[in-house]
Structures are given as structure tokens and as C-alpha cells.
Amino acid sequence: MHIEEPLKALNAICPYYTMFPLDFPLRVLQGRARKGDWVVDPFCGRGTTNFAARLLGLSSFGVDSSPVAVALTQAKLADARVSDVVRTAKGILDSMPSRVAVPNGDFWERAYEPAVLRQICWLRKDLLRDCSSDSRLLLRAILLGALHGPRTKLAASHLSNQCPRTFAPKPDYAVRFWRKRRMKPPAVNVVEVVRTRARRYLSQRPAYTPAHVVLGDSRAAKVFESRQFRWAITSPPYYGMRTYIPDQWLRNWFLGGPAHVTYKPPARELDHASADAFADDLRKVWMGIAASAAIDARLVIRFGGIADRDVDPVTLLKSSLSDSGWRLTTAVSAGDANAGRRQATQFVHGGPAPKEEYDFYAVLA
């Protein structure tokens, strides 16, 4: 089944620092999945597996502990026209009062032009109040993608001062960066940014397929409800990688989080205290999926390691599959995790570098 490139555009609605390419789940599912199959991703991230399932006409289920991940996955399963999304944005902004509460501090004053910040805050407030329609789900994801990113010489594509587009800059570093270069935030037309992005991602829309996304803990078997999955395709957090919320703190703020960076691990995060504890938590996830799996189900996992953890990812992942209800059949190298990665260069991320990744294939034991 050949999929036209414009139909894939929605997958890029908002960048995410850790992600696998769309071709990975498509390659697994094409020619093997049958009509009526359900696909699950217990660590859905930015929804790549779920979107691949939609492109192939398959139903899907996603779980993630990050509000940002869930918001992006929901958008990739939504269906609305460009005009619907733009009309929704205009309607919200038309109702904006003259006074709007905004976060205080040097970062916010230097990150956004005052009028733009007021509009962002009003859109945030209204979407927090109601994000039930598909046009609102897509508008929210478009704004998350536009919330920060590099400035361009042509039409504005982001709402912020110069920033990385993939991860949010830390406030102190960003302020020093902007102050040293005397950079001021641009006065951009928020609706036009929304319109441009909506046209980019929604010019062609894949057919709707039934799907469900949950903000939750995939270690709890009940999170998978009563669905029966034939395919599970996922990439769990790598052992020691705990910066998902800090790296996405601005987008997390837009979704109701604090207006500052918080480093406290979320309650639903896997246990990173030791490699054994981490493997035990992964085992709970695999067991929960096995309990909801069809008899001929397949589990496909992309997993790797990071440089500051001296743990073999292959050994760790194999340990997690032991007594999980799944039998490992194949483990192959997927290459260097940095290969082909497009990363913003305006700021140095400074986080742990990923090492080689591997693809693991398993069947029910």
C-alpha cells in the first residue's frame, strides 16, 4: 500500500526530542496487519505508531505519562479542515478581554512580544477550559508546535524569540542568550501562524479510524481497558533518560503545568533507581499488554541506551521480557540514534547522548 507524502504531513505537527521515524511502524504493519486489527503503543510519545495505524486504516490505542505526548497523539487522530482550525482560533481570540493574566519574569518578557503573549495566554486558558472538538485538538497541537522555535527571515512560523524548536530552552540560559545578542521577540500575527501551519499539516487528511489515547501509567494493566490488541509497537524511555517534562516545560505549561521548569519526576514515570528496577517496571507493561493481546499478537520494541548509563540496553530489554508473557524471537541493530536527527543548533541541549538502538521482536509465550 503506497501512502502519498501529503497524507503523512500531520505527523510533523509538533517536534518531540525523542521519537522514532514514521517508516518504522509502517514497515512493521504494512502487508502484515489485517483489517480490524488494533494497534497499541504503551509509550506513545508524539503518536507516531498511532498515526501509522491511522494511515493504514487500523484502530489504535495509546498511553503516555506526559500531557504533551497525549495532546500530540490526540491531534494526530483528529480530523478537521484548515478552515475549521483557523475559525476556532479566531473565535477564541475575538472573545479575548482587554486584560489577560500573563506569567511574570525576564524570560517571559524576552521570549514573547507582549501582545503575542497575551494571545497565547488567552488561547491557553480557553483550550484548558474546553478541548473536546477535533478542531480544538488540532489547534492546541499546532500552537504547541509554534510555541517556540527559530526565527526566520520570511513569514513567521513560530511565536517566540530565537529558540530551539524541539526542546524548550531553560530560562536563565535563554535570557543570557537573548540579552547578549540584543534579540527582541517578534510581533507576529498569531492567526496567520496558525493558518500557515494548518495548511501545511492538513492539506490532505487521512481517513478517520477509531482510536483512544490515555494519560496514564502503562504499568497498570487496567489502563489497556478491555481491547484486544494484535500489534504492540513502541519505544520506551531509555534507562536514565528522565528529562521529558523539563525538556518540554513550555509546552507542558501551555497544557496547564507551571510557568517554570520543574525537575521533580512525574508519579507515573518508570523507576530509574537501578537497571533491575527499570526492567521490572517494563516487565509490568509487557505483562499488561499480554493480558490484552490476541493469540497471534506481535510485540515490537525499539530500545537503546544513553551515554551516561553503563548498562547494555540489549541485556536490560531481554531481562524485562523474561516471565512477561512474551518470547523474544529477534533482536537487530537499528543504527545510531543520532543518525539523521534534525536538532536545533541555537542552544546546546546538554542532555545525555543516545547510543545505538535495537529493534526487538517478540510473540506471546
Q: How confident is the model at residue 343 (pLDDT cuts 50, 70, 90)?
A: very low
Q: Which of 157-161, 273-277, 345-349 has the lowest mean pLDDT?
A: 345-349
pTM confidence score: 0.93
Biggest CA–CA distance in the chain, Å, is: 62
How much of the chain, in percent, has pLDDT values that exceed 70? 93
The mean pLDDT value for 3-11 works out to: 94
5-78+207-364 classified as CATH 3.40.50.150? yes
Predicted local confidence at residue 344, as pLDDT:
30
Cβ-contact 343, 165 below 8 angstroms: no
Residue with cell 493504514: 56
pLDDT tens for each residue of 110-148: 999 999 999 999 999 999 999 999 999 999 999 999 999
Q: Report whether pLDDT(290) > 70.
A: yes
The residues spanned by each domain of the chain are 5-78+207-364, 82-202
CA distance 140 to 134: 10
Name the residue among 85, 318, 41, 332 with its Cα closest to residue 201. Answer: 85
Q: Which of 181-190, 260-269, 283-292, 345-354 has the lowest mean pLDDT?
A: 345-354
Q: Which of 19-28, 289-298, 336-345 has the lowest mean pLDDT?
A: 336-345
Cβ-proximal residues to 179 (8 Å cutoff; 6+ apart), any chain: 110
The mean pLDDT value for 243-249 works out to: 89
Q: How confident is the model at residue 354 (pLDDT cuts 50, 70, 90)?
A: low
Q: How confident is the model at residue 348 (pLDDT cuts 50, 70, 90)?
A: very low
The distance of Cα 155 from the centroid of its chain, to the nearest Å, equals 26
The mean pLDDT value for 79-95 works out to: 98
Q: Report whether pLDDT(264) > 90.
A: no
Q: Which amino acid is at 264?
A: K
